[in-house]
Amino acid sequence: MSNEDRFVDIEIKLAHQEDLVESLNQMVYQQSRRIDQLEAVVAGLAEHIRSNAQSGAMPLNEKPPHY
């Protein structure tokens, strides 16, 4: 195998690795955005539960009426 063939093989492998790294970076970015969205939902739910508990609207240990 000549040096030129080896360089071509290396360049091909490098191009594939660059594509893979870009793909992984995009996936990490999307997952980070989704995590941010889910954290916002959890914070909203926690606030909703706190406000209901403070107003006495929903006792935490009381069984629902259908029991």
Distance CA 67, CA 60 (A): 15
Structure tokens at 31: 């997952």
Integer CA distances (angstroms), 20 to 10, 23, 35, 66, in order: 15, 5, 22, 55
Half-sphere exposure of 63 (CA within 13 A, CB side): 3
pTM of the complete model beyond 0.85: no
> Which amino acid makes up residue 60?
L
Q: Give the model confidence (pLDDT) of 5-52 as tens digits.
A: 999 999 999 999 999 999 999 999 999 999 999 999 999 999 999 988
